[in-house]
Amino acid sequence: MSKVDFAAESGTQTTVITQIFDAPRDLVWKIYTDPKLLPKWWGPKILKTKVEKMEVKTGGSWRVVQNDTEGNEFAFHGVYHEVQPYNLTRTMEWEGMPGHVLLETVKMEEKDGKTKVTDINVFHTVEDRDEMVETGMKGGVDESYDRFVELLKEYQTKV
pLDDT exceeds 90 at position 78: yes
Tens digit of each residue's pLDDT (9 = 90 or more) over 100-140: 899 999 999 999 999 999 999 999 999 999 998 998 899 99
Quick check: is 136 in a domain?
no
Asked, for residue 11, whether it belongs to a domain, the answer is yes
Do the domain assignments include residue 33? yes
Reduced to 3 states (helix: H, G, I; strand: E, B; else coil), residue 33 is helix
CATH code (residue 61): 3.30.530.20
- Does 61 map to a domain? yes
28 falls within a domain: yes
Q: How many helices (H) and strands (E) does the chain have?
A: 3, 8
pTM of the complete model: 0.92
State pLDDT tens for residues 36-62: 999 999 999 999 999 999 999 999 999
Sheet holding 73-84, edge to edge: 5-7, 14-21, 114-123, 101-111, 87-94, 73-84, 61-67, 48-54
What range defines the domain where residue 10 resides?
5-125
